[in-house]
């Protein structure tokens, strides 16, 4: 018996490869099918089933293309409806893979069709459970992504309470929990950096598995939920109805454009220049009007939070050699309309003598000398981060809510931005620049550097203790 967790750090996502006696199943595959096809070939396995724990909102699954390539059957849990051929399983229905058994456990709550899959060995003993977004390590799935007119997030949270207690918590403590996500995903709010654990240990440490009343559970689960990235609903729809083959998306996106062609295409109103270099590189110089979201940070969630429409045409400025990676990572979350990249990168733009915009970037020590006279300081971290500690003069303006607070910010004031380390504040700076702000300063290293600067210590406020996760 082989069980492989295929973890993708940039999405904090876990897919799973299960094989025994020449037959295989894959759970929650990513959109690009080539790695799975190669794995099947290398192992000499035949793919029998593709199991989907639910209609994913945070990435486009590879189930449709993988089924076409292999002839495998796509399996969803009860109540799912798809526009392509799939098997809608019933609760506790079983499927065999080379003598192993996978049992469907319907666990509505995160979404209505959400299901877990319990793997049993040839002796029919439970070994592990693939929990999708129902149960994470340290958390459970958010209940606000599948709202229907006759249901509220409180209704779904109540369903999740029952699913956890009636389906999962009755399993043996030694069963290994394999979730679909870990820390960094927007599908929960308190996920651990660990990517698997025993169910028994989760019963001890996971707040959602404690002896709470249903009312207390619902209140806890529905408090402090940040807005879902804008692409979530659209990704769920793509996973339900189907999508363009990723090879076609890659071919369209990997067009090397000259400076002249790039500049001409960038003038279209429906097109965004997306610069994915490092924050410092963007600050030093970038194409006017470009949006910064670095490829080396939490790329997909912030693309989805800032670029609301997945149909937006994108022109890329990337570090040389990372063009294909960028197009692929955009396609993973449904951004299928990349129309090319700047050949030669930003250096080609500079060499052509084109206009360049920059963002002033200063150290925490320099910021300390300006603190008393700063006109406006914006802390773009999440509310919980701000509560743990912040500068007295800083206003909490989370990047997650930038659409709400941006219109009421006075453009004539000099704005100093910081986040935790410098990534999110540069995203915010690029958005502000695109919206007419001209007097901006970014603090290098963010609050991490600010909190260590000796001359800023008198201006720090701590309100509560940070959470362990």
State the pLDDT confidence band at 468, using cuts at 50, 70 and 90: very low
β-strand pairing of 460-461 with 376-379: unpaired
pLDDT at 224 over 90: no
**Whether 292 and 430 share a structural domain:** no
Across the range 129-155, mean pLDDT stands at 90
**Whether 86 and 186 share a structural domain:** yes
**Whether 221 and 370 share a structural domain:** no
Distance in angstroms between the alpha carbons of the first and the last residue of the chain:
33
Torsions phi, psi of 201, nearest 5? -70, -35
If one counts the domains in the chain, the total is 3
Burial 87-121 (b: 16+ CB within 10 A, else e): eebeeebebebbebbbbbbbbbbbbbbbbbbbbbe
pLDDT digits (tens, 9 = 90+) for 313-365: 999 999 999 999 999 999 999 999 999 999 999 999 999 999 999 999 999 99
Quickly tell me which residue has 């029919």 as its tokens.
124
pLDDT at 469 over 50: no
State the pLDDT confidence band at 148, using cuts at 50, 70 and 90: low
pLDDT at 147: 65
Whole-model pTM: value is 0.88
**Whether 346 and 372 share a structural domain:** no
pLDDT at 145: 83
What's the gap between Cα 144 and its chain centre?
Answer: 16
pLDDT at 467 over 50: no
| CA distance linking residue 301 with residue 334, whole number of Å | 12
DSSP helix/strand/coil, 101: strand
Last residue of a domain, one of 351, 383, 412: 351
pLDDT digits (tens, 9 = 90+) for 32-42: 999 999 999 99
State the pLDDT confidence band at 466, using cuts at 50, 70 and 90: very low
Last residue of a domain, one of 205, 232, 259: 232
* Contact present, 158 and 218 (Cβ < 8 Å): yes
**Whether 31 and 129 share a structural domain:** yes
Take residue 247 and report the two structure tokens written for it: 């090879």
**Whether 23 and 133 share a structural domain:** yes
pLDDT at 391 over 70: yes
pLDDT at 464: 53
The mean-pLDDT minimum among 29-38, 62-71, 226-235 falls in: 226-235
| CA distance linking residue 77 with residue 109, whole number of Å | 13
| CA distance linking residue 460 with residue 270, whole number of Å | 42
pLDDT at 397 over 70: yes
Domain that residue 122 falls in = 2-232
**Whether 17 and 134 share a structural domain:** yes
pLDDT at 101: 98
Across the range 58-82, mean pLDDT stands at 97
> Rounded mean pLDDT of the chain?
94
Is residue 248 a part of any domain in this protein? Answer: yes
Is residue 267 a part of any domain in this protein? Answer: yes
Is residue 378 a part of any domain in this protein? Answer: yes
Is residue 14 a part of any domain in this protein? Answer: yes
Last residue of a domain, one of 328, 351, 374: 351
* E-state strands within 99-168: 100-106, 115-120, 126-132
**Whether 101 and 218 share a structural domain:** yes
pLDDT at 149: 63
Is residue 89 a part of any domain in this protein? Answer: yes
**Whether 221 and 272 share a structural domain:** no
**Whether 256 and 366 share a structural domain:** no
pLDDT digits (tens, 9 = 90+) for 253-280: 999 999 999 999 999 988 999 999 999 9
**Whether 385 and 294 share a structural domain:** no
Tell whether the torsion through CA atoms of 139, 144, 147 and 153 is positive or negative.
positive
Is residue 237 a part of any domain in this protein? Answer: no
pLDDT digits (tens, 9 = 90+) for 403-462: 999 999 999 999 999 999 999 999 999 999 999 999 999 999 999 999 999 999 999 998
Is residue 170 a part of any domain in this protein? Answer: yes
DSSP helix/strand/coil, 244: coil
- CATH number of 306's domain: 3.40.250.10
What's the gap between Cα 456 and its chain centre?
Answer: 34
* Contact present, 357 and 432 (Cβ < 8 Å): no
| CA distance linking residue 198 with residue 175, whole number of Å | 6
Is residue 467 a part of any domain in this protein? Answer: no
DSSP H or E stretch at residue 49: strand 46-51
**Whether 205 and 252 share a structural domain:** no
pLDDT at 266: 96
CA atoms within 13 A on the CB side of 151: 17
Across the range 47-57, mean pLDDT stands at 97
| CA distance linking residue 440 with residue 452, whole number of Å | 23
């Amino acid at each position: 018996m082989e069980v492989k967790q295929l973890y993708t750090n940039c999405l904090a996502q876990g897919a799973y490869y299960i094989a025994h006696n020449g037959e295989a199943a894959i759970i929650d595959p990513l959109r690009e099918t080539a790695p799975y096809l190669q794995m099947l070939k290398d192992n000499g396995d035949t793919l029998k089933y593709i199991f989907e724990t639910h209609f994913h909102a945070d990435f486009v699954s590879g189930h449709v293309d993988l089924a076409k390539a292999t002839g495998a059957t796509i399996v969803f849990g009860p109540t799912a409806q798809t526009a392509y051929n799939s098997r809608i399983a019933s609760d506790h229905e079983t499927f065999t893979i080379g003598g192993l058994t996978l049992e469907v456990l319907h666990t509505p709550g995160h979404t209505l069709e959400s299901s877990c899959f319990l793997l049993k060995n040839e002796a029919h003993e439970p070994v592990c459970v693939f929990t999708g977004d129902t149960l994470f390590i340290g958390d459970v799935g958010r209940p606000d992504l599948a709202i229907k007119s006759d249901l509220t997030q409180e209704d779904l949270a109540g369903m999740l309470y029952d699913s956890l207690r009636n389906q999962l918590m009755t399993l043996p403590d030694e069963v290994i929990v394999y979730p679909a996500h870990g820390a960094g995903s927007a599908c929960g709010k308190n996920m651990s950096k660990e990517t698997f654990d025993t169910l028994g240990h989760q019963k001890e440490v996971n707040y959602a598995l404690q002896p709470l009343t249903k009312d207390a559970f619902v209140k806890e689960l529905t408090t402090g939920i940040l807005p879902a990235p804008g692409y979530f609903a659209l990704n769920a729809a793509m996973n339900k109805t189907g999508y363009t083959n990723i090879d076609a998306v890659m071919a369209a996106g990997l067009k090397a454009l000259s400076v002249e062609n790039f500049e001409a295409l960038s003038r279209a109103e429906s097109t965004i220049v997306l610069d994915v270099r490092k924050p410092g590189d963007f600050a030093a110089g970038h194409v006017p009007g470009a949006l910064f979201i670095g490829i080396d940070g939490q790329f997909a969630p912030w693309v989805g939070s800032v670029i609301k429409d997945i149909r937006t045409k994108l022109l890329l400025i990337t570090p040389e050699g990372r063009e294909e990676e960028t197009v692929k990572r955009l396609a993973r979350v449904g951004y299928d309309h990349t129309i090319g990249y700047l050949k030669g990168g930003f250096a080609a733009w500079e060499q052509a003598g084109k206009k360049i915009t920059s963002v002033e970037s200063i150290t925490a020590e320099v910021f300390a000398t300006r603190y008393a006279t700063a006109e406006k300081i914006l802390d773009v971290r999440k509310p919980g981060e701000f509560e743990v500690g912040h500068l007295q003069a800083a206003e909490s303006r989370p990047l997650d809510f930038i659409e709400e607070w941006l219109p009421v910010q006075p453009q004539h004031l000099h704005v100093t931005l910081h986040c935790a380390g410098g990534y999110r504040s540069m995203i915010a700076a690029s958005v502000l620049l695109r919206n007419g702000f001209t007097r901006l300063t970014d603090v290098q290293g963010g609050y991490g550097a600010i909190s260590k600067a000796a001359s800023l210590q008198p201006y720090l406020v701590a309100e509560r203790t940070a959470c362990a996760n």
